[in-house]
A and B are shown apart, each in its own frame.
Chain A
């Protein structure tokens, strides 16, 4: 019930908001802020109540109610550690987004209702344990997002919304077909757990099913080469839209891989894994290079998302405990850091009404607090130790390196170049926007952070530092889920290897290479040439 309450509280809030008078934006803002804050408060109970010990149930706070029993569809929700973290991310980000959207003055009521509905849909996506329910929430996210960009976006918003909608919708329809097919081959039930255990399809069918899911998720992530909706959507979206889009929506894609595509179709996933990992690395480098030549701040941050989510995907494909944990952590990081970047860019936009980097320059003197916050967030984004970004990137690279996929070391090395490029484009952005001398007279009298804006950005900075210095509480819930996935994939790997005996093991860390029995004869070792002695 608790989980259901968290899912539907925002929707309930939206319903009530619908009855509030449209001419009173203040009431709407206050109400929406209150509702999202309350949702966050209730979700804290989820975090506190989650049992992350290894013996605990896989899905907690579960609730299962028949919905369309005849078709095998049920209202089944529950959380594993990864979903829990993402739900927490959603509930924490939404009040901040609403606070940041105080400056929206047009159709405030509708705007806030859209955000509240969106929150319910997002939480539902993470909590669903029934494939149809998942699909419903998954698609439900599109509608308010479509409205947010289409109604409150900037000049070129129509093109962006249509592109966003069609891109993601077309891909999702493939997933729907796959869902139906899978359910029919799993005893007619749409329940995730049932399908996961009872799915019986041939190898070829599994490949197609995996692809259908993977394409839907890859578009959402977005992975290279299906990423081009993202820069447009981000650029045209209002600040709140960008933050939610970057902060939560993209995670739905990576979460989809973690929860659905890989555990449901492990054999196929293992076969496509090298390709996906390569695309992830391409995305890391490609996205970073794109950032170097963007003149629009929002486009730059959008492409940096392509790069960062490449890291997440690389970590997931490593299929080692380190890589998967790092991938999960990087999902949270990206939500926090990129969310914060969009908030800050939004603040600058509200002051100057332009996103062009060339319009700025030298404004650190005018807006020292914004500049400071921007630098801190930048450091998190480039993965400086002490910030959250480092933990994720380090674990991902370590996990990739330690993995057993052929060529994984090379992927890790190539992925690591993204760390260098990340520093280049982010610091260059900072330099061009904040440092140097003021070139445009309009920048001479920019107001610094207001109190409200301070409250918007402060929690993000606190999160950046806390998650950087004490990652353990955030890592702990993810661990059982990660271990389960690795185990599941290892079983699949074993199956593939019995079918094809020549295939080397490819999941988990490398085999222990050390001799298990210590050499008991020290004489044998003493005969070894001493350190470095080659003469």
Chain B
């Protein structure tokens, strides 16, 4: 067995790490930026204009990037197996066995993530300067964007589950805030909420998986001496947590085996050491445990993956991501394409040593990834909103990443994460530039011919299309090809307890179909947008970008241009030429009033599209160049006879040994050819059907297969399905319980009260006739005493003074007595 020999080759030891004290600065800078803009942004913006706002935000990002680069430089100086920077600030909380440090760690994987986040994040901040120039709550946007980067950095840099969860929820919050950025629009506010709530379902799984893992680690907790802040050492007699009654027992319950602390932990490094070093016996222990009739590790893996499903928009929890496009486009690019949505992939890769122990969990990850990749790609075929196309494309590409990490090709999944960050950011920002150029039009049917108006946007978009379609001149080919190849050769996956070596080939087939589809819908969007004649601007009024649902049914609407009643919330009445120079700082006061509700309409009245300002085009160019250059990180071993650079870099982190079948090299060449073929087929079809917008075939086909088209166009009615199966029953149950609360429980209470009242009435009757005299006497006494007491209130100062004196005496006396 090849891998068994491999395993013997390097005996894994504990992680060797380097303590540093500056890692916390990387997330700190964006936090400072966010704080400044959140607290003083409005005042700063009023006093000094928008320039201050974005200067603060971008400066924070640049500082963060520089710090990250410094860390990278330090890491490069360390030997490969020693590249682990650890920065523990203080102990956040300790209760029982649960202990959480405010700790940051950088290994090769999180280093890569941090570089992606800070680099692309900085670029997108710069892009936003031009893109958001017309928005009045400019400060709010940048504050939240910075806050997002802060949370994202926590997520990848946290050295324990709790810190990761801090970031995990933090990015969800920022996503919520940024999707609902135009909160005066109910639809967008609802989209924000949907994102948050769907993610909560995922978090539920994440939390359950985490607790299960913690529980499964068994063992006992005891206070540790290093950096644990808490000086609290439970008395042996009180060592309730460990169940020990003597000090010796207490120590024995927290065994240290070969220098590795064994027991439940939230810390990634400690977890890895325990599991990876076989002598501790933890791995064996975990593998043997069962819960509710399932293998514990499979349950843990699947539940953690449910968390990833939410965050990374996988079936069936992907529904929030397309709606999240309601947010401003830079947000879609940064959060909903390049960084946040990849958190799930990152998590699985980070825990590769854990997932690798359960072929079942891995199979589910790969399977869900495959289904998502195909499913989302098919929805992408018929969308007209350019951002929706990209949204479904993102869902689909995330599926590819999960195929990678699911079959055990961790580095390939992570590499696809990186390449996707570049080309998808390019595509999203390109679409943003298009939307801006077309005066906040998102419907591709009203674009076309933008090639000549927006040259830079055009060629960057084309490069990114080539990358995602999988042609070897750009990065996408290398990551996608590696994933599919590894999927094909994987043979260890297990479903429902059955070994399924055929699953790899099935995944490959589905993957190649999805790849063909990807190429098709991406080039479709390219041709619809950039070639042919410009179809917008003929007095179509201010067109809402999200209202295409209104003309979903009539086929003829495919190329409709005239008179829609919709009005964009996003339509800002900027004059077209104003964008030609610098995007920001122009004509703010003039628009201030009009921006009130984001709903003002029609000031620009069409006009020709225009290229975006330089802050936008430069960013696009940088990202497009990046989409090409990053291909060198993943040149296949087949070509160069040494492992791809990124695989080599990540090897110490992604240490899980997963078996793959070895196939002859010729097969690999053929599969690469098939990958290119898939891209070509998609491209040819898209070109045939959509180039220049002339062909009538799409409309004909659509008419012919009306039913199928409608189903796909309406996204397979999944939202409606959720509404019918989850939302409505919950609300119904809630209503029923509300009725129950008011009519049953409260009725019992009132009934008891009623019974009591009856008795009281009987009692009262007895009272009235029997004890009346006595009562009257008491009443008389009371009235008399009241009359007497009234005399105390004389209005004479002396009387009061006597009273006060008496009171004081009483207090002194009491004091004396008590002592």
From 16 to 51 in chain A, residues with beta carbon under 8 angstroms from any chain B beta carbon are none
A451 at the interface (CB under 8 A from B): no
CA distance A385 to B166 in the complex (A): 5
B215-236 CB contacts (< 8 Å) to partner A: 215, 218-221, 229-230, 232-235
**Complex: A360 Cα to B252 Cα, angstroms:** 61
Which residues of chain A (503-524) have a CB below 8 Å from chain B? 505, 508-516, 518-519, 522
Distance in angstroms between the alpha carbons of A383 and B146 in the assembled complex: 22
The proximity string for A residues 207-250 relative to B, scoring 1 for CB distances below 8 Å and 0 otherwise, is: 00000000000000000010011000000000000000000000
Cα distance A32–B255 when bound, in Å?
57
- B459-503 at interface with A (beta carbon < 8 Å): 491-492, 494, 499
Residues of A contacting B359 in the complex (Cβ-Cβ under 8 angstroms) = 532, 534
Contact string, B175-194, partner A, CB cutoff 8 A, digits 1/0? 01000100111100110010
Partner of B252, one of A321, A409, A516: A516
Write out the residue numbers on chain A whose beta carbons fall within 8 Å of the beta carbon of B291.
409
Nearest chain-A residue to B491 (Cβ)?
A535
Q: Which residues of B contact A482 (CB under 8 A)?
A: 240
Assembly CA distance A482 to B282 (angstroms): 30
Residues of chain A within 8 A (CB-CB) of B492 are 532-535
* Nearest chain B residue, comparing its CB with the CB of A54: B235
How many Å from the CB of B754 to the closest CB on chain A?
A: 12
Which secondary structure dominates chain A's binding surface?
Answer: helix
Query: A351 to nearest B CB, angstroms?
Result: 19
A110 to chain B, nearest CB (A): 17
Q: In whole angstroms, how far apart are the Cα atoms of A379 and B176 in the complex?
A: 12
Q: Are the CB atoms of B98 and A322 closer together than 8 Å? A: yes
Determine whether A437 belongs to the interface, using a CB cutoff of 8 Å to chain B: yes
A436 with B211: CB separation less than 8 A: no
Determine the chain A residues whose CB is within 8 A of the CB of B362 once the complex forms. Answer: 532
Report whether B92 and A479 are in contact in the complex, using a CB–CB cutoff of 8 Å. Answer: no
- Chain A residues within 8 Å of B97, by CB: 321-322, 402, 509
In the bound complex, do residue A395 and residue B98 qualify as a contact, i.e. CB atoms below 8 Å apart? yes
Residues of B close to A435: CB separation below 8 A:
180, 183-184, 186, 189
In angstroms, Cα B230 to Cα A471, docked, is: 12
Answer yes or no: B721 CB below 8 A from chain A CBs: no
Residues of A within 8 A of B263 (CB): 512, 514
Q: What 1/0 flags go to B5-38 for Cβ under 8 Å of A? A: 0011000000000000000000000000000000
Stretch at the interface among A119-127, A175-183, A289-297, A336-344: A289-297
Count contacts on A: residues with CB < 8 A to the other chain: 92
If A386-B166, A508-B243, A535-B659 touch, whether A228 touches B745 (CB-CB below 8 Å) is yes
B597 contacts A by Cβ under 8 Å? yes
Q: How far is the CA of A399 from the CA of B491 in the complex (A)?
A: 39
**Size range of the interface on B?**
35 or more
A322 touches B658 (CB 8 A): no
Pick from A402, A419, A512: contact of B200, CB below 8 A: A419
- List, in ascending order, chain B residues with CB within 8 A of A479's CB: 95, 232
Cβ–Cβ contact A514 & B189, under 8 A:
no
Interface residue A69 (Cβ < 8 Å from any Cβ of B): no
Interface positions, chain A 449-484, Cβ under 8 Å from B, are 469-472, 475-476, 479-480, 482-484
Q: Is B357 an interface residue (CB 8 A)?
A: yes
Chain B residues whose C-beta falls within 8 Å of the C-beta of A286 in the assembled complex: 737
Interface-facing stretch out of B424-432, B525-533, B669-677, B728-736: B728-736
Please give, as numbers and ranges, the residues of chain A lying within 8 Å of B238 by CB-CB distance.
54, 480, 483-484, 487
Give the docked Cα–Cα distance between A242 and B1 (Å): 70
Does A310 sit within 8 A of B, measured CB to CB? no
Q: Report the minimal beta-carbon distance from A337 to chain B, rounded to whole angstroms.
A: 16
Q: Check if B3 sits within 8 Å of A436, measured CB to CB.
A: no
B3 to chain A, nearest CB (A): 7
Asked if B279 contacts A512 (CB within 8 A), the reply is no
B716 at the interface (CB under 8 A from A): no
Kindly identify which residue among B4, B91, B208 contacts A472, using a CB–CB cutoff of 8 Å: B91
- In the complex, the answer to whether B281 meets A518 with C-beta atoms within 8 Å is yes
A480 CB contacts on chain B under 8 angstroms: 238
CB < 8 Å neighbour of B94 from A162, A475, A505, A515: A475
Q: How far is the CA of A321 from the CA of B358 in the complex (A)?
A: 31
**A427 and B282 within 8 A (CB):** no
Q: Which chain B residue has the least Cβ–Cβ distance from A436?
A: B186
- Beta-carbon contacts of A64-91 to B below 8 Å, as 1s and 0s? 0100000000000000000000000000
Given A290-B734, A293-B738, A391–B281 Cβ distance below 8 Å? no
Instruction: Name the distance in Å between A388's Cβ and chain B's nearest Cβ.
Output: 11
A-B contact pairs, 20 of them (CB 8 A): A163-B749, A228-B746, A292-B734, A321-B95, A386-B166, A398-B98, A401-B211, A424-B197, A427-B197, A428-B193, A431-B189, A436-B189, A483-B234, A486-B240, A487-B237, A512-B253, A515-B285, A525-B279, A532-B357, A533-B4
Q: Across the A-B interface, give the 10 residue pairs with the lowest CB-CB distance, nearest first.
A: A513-B218, A321-B96, A486-B240, A435-B189, A322-B96, A325-B95, A436-B186, A385-B166, A401-B211, A292-B734
A417-B204, A532-B492 given; name 7 further pairs at CB < 8 Å.
Answer: A54-B235, A292-B731, A364-B184, A384-B170, A398-B98, A412-B211, A427-B176
Interface residues, chain B, with chain A CB atoms under 8 Å away: 1, 3-4, 7-8, 91-98, 162, 165-166, 168-170, 173, 176, 180, 183-186, 189-190, 193, 196-197, 200-201, 203-204, 207-208, 211-212, 214-215, 218-221, 229-230, 232-235, 237-243, 252-253, 255, 257-258, 262-263, 278-285, 289, 291, 353, 356-359, 362, 408, 491-492, 494, 499, 597, 599, 656-659, 730-731, 733-735, 737-738, 741, 745-746, 749, 753, 756, 818
